[in-house]
Amino acid sequence: MGKPTGFLEFTRELPVDKAPLERINNWDEFHLHLPEENLRNQGARCMDCGTPFCHTGELISGMASGCPVNNLIPEWNDLIYRGLWQEALDRLHKTNNFPEFTGRVCPAPCEGSCVLGINNPPVTIKNIECSIIDHGWDQGWVKPQPPEKRTGKKIAIVGSGPAGLSAAAQLNKAGHSVTVYEKDDRPGGLLMYGIPNMKLDKEKVVLRRVKLLEEEGVKFVCNSTIGKDIPAETLVNDNDAVILAIGAGKPRDLPIEGRSLKGINFAMDFLTANTKAVLSDNPEEFISAKGKDVVIIGGGDTGTDCVGTSIRHGCNSVTQLEIMPQPPEIRAKNNPWPEYPKIYRLDYGQEEAAAKFGNDPRVYTTTATKFEGDSEGNVIAVHTVEVEWARDEQGRFTPNPIKGTEKRLPAQLVLLAMGFLGPEQLLLEQMGLEKDNRSNIKAEYGEYATSIPNVFAAGDCRRGQSLVVWAFNEGRGVAKECDRFLMGYTDLP
């Protein structure tokens, strides 16, 4: 421990982001880095806590507590305090194939379980992680490292999202020949089209890492839907192993009156088309929020991304409906450390909405009851009602409408951001894969083997909708088990 008293001497400090009213004029990333001296002070705040919880990655009360990829956080915090950047980068890469992704989009369960966070603001783990990897790229330390020899084994990975990419990186490192199939026109899956450019730059960050993987020997085949463009049977027969990492792309719908009206879209369709337009020299047609009153139904990260995107389009107003109550400012008694803290946060989209329109766009304990349309079939309003949560006869908490709280919100664009129900089913049915009771691919965690002998599954298509960092965990895990299946043993971490 370089500075045992650091947590007593230095307060938590984060770099100041670009101002909301400035950054909404473009699609550039807006997070900045601290000067090196300030960052070293933040590393010094990491306590000599004896039993660090930050890198445990346990599930407590159904939520991640600590880092699911088991980052060696105390070690690289200490190395940053000492100014040993390259050594810190080496430690970071031991457990995390893509720290430039997690350092930008992970919700940082590590900070929620930081021991210092029991009675002080926690260590700025996420910001330090991002600073380490960005510095490493800037210094030219992140270089292709192709394997010295090949095993002769061929592996097909279906899906180039977080799970697929991490599995590809690990299996290529083991010397196998890896081909990744992606249905979209660019690799990256959720990282490419599920997260807006201002949150995760596609050219400078995502495709930079994809290019490095290609230089290491990973092959990417885009615009290729398995089961349609390439028969699933052919993929299984032509490879020694197949890994399915197709995500959980089936969105949750809201089948209320007026759902068929024009102008009501799934959030991921809205975000995907927008990113394709941002990346294209000749922008394709996309769903524009310009000049419209936008209502977003759903209060998670995807909803926040819809808020930020709508504002950049130039929307007239934006409202975000959240059926759950507003979280408390500090941990509730039933949400103790080291659980992930369910507290009120003003994320970037809400911060931008508050700067532009004067208030947080979220409306809590409220649900939509029907969509209203005009004579031409376009949505013009969302009818809502407030709800009260109470236990039903089976003891489950359920939302009950409160009479007299009905409202009508003008809306020419409605975005459904209510999560996902599982993977698209066509490929699973074609392959005859066994599924669990939630329509996910049935494969035990830690084993990842499906009902077909040489086919594995990992990520959201196996566990259901989850955090990006859990997908990286599963990608590394399935790589180990696939390697063991092919070779009889594995040396992969």
| pLDDT band for position 285 (cuts 50, 70, 90) | confident
Q: What percent of the chain has pLDDT over 90?
A: 94
CA 312 to chain centroid, in Å, comes to 21
pLDDT of residue 50: 85
Q: What is the pLDDT of residues 330-382, one digit of tens each?
A: 999 999 999 999 999 999 999 999 999 999 999 999 999 999 999 999 999 99
Dump pLDDT digits (tens) for 92-136. 999 999 999 999 999 999 999 999 999 999 999 999 999 999 999
First to last CA, the chain: 25
39 pLDDT higher than 90: yes
The pLDDT value given to residue 48: 83
* Residue % of the chain over a pLDDT of 70: 99
Confidence class for position 282, pLDDT limits 50, 70, 90 = low
pLDDT for position 1: 65
Q: Which two tokens stand for residue 151?
A: 């095993």
Report yes or no: 78 and 1 within 8 Å, Cβ to Cβ.
yes
- Rounded to the nearest integer, the mean pLDDT of the chain is 96
Q: Could you tell me the two tokens for 127?
A: 């910001």
**Close Cβ partners of 22 (under 8 Å, ≥ 6 residues apart):** none
Tell me how far CA of residue 8 lies from CA of 81, 121, 243, 309, 387, in angstroms: 15, 12, 48, 40, 45
| 221 confidence band (pLDDT: 50, 70, 90) | very high
Domains present along the chain, CATH in parentheses? 6-138 (1.10.1060.10), 154-249+421-487 (3.50.50.60), 253-418 (3.50.50.60)
Cis-peptide, bond into residue 338, ω within 30° of zero? yes
Q: Estimate the crossing angle of helix 85-95 against helix 125-138, to 10 degrees.
A: 110
Residue-wise pLDDT for 165-205, tens only, equals 999 999 999 999 999 999 999 999 999 999 999 999 999 99
Give the pLDDT of residue 445. Answer: 94
**Cα–Cα distance measured from residue 361 to residue 351, given in angstroms and rounded to the nearest whole number:** 9
Per residue in 257-275, pLDDT tens? 999 999 999 999 999 999 9
Are the beta carbons of 180 and 187 closer than 8 angstroms? yes
Q: How confident is the model at residue 46 (pLDDT cuts 50, 70, 90)?
A: very high
| 3-state percent helix, strand, coil for the chain, nearest multiple of 5 | 35, 20, 45
Q: How does pLDDT run across 307-344, given as a tens digit for each residue? A: 999 999 999 999 999 999 999 999 999 999 999 999 99
Burial class (CB in 10 A: 0-12, 13-18, 19+), 281: exposed
Can you tell me which residue has the tokens 């941002």?
278
Q: Write down the pLDDT at residue 125.
A: 97
Task: Report DSSP letters for 96-164, one per residue.
Answer: -S-HHHHHHH---HHHHT-GGGGTSPPP-HHHHHHHHHHHHHHTT-------SS--S-EEEEE--SHHH
Give the pLDDT of residue 213: 98
Which residue has better confidence, 284 or 206?
206
**Contact assessment for residue 301 and residue 325, using Cβ atoms and an 8 Å cutoff:** no
- pLDDT at position 395 is 87
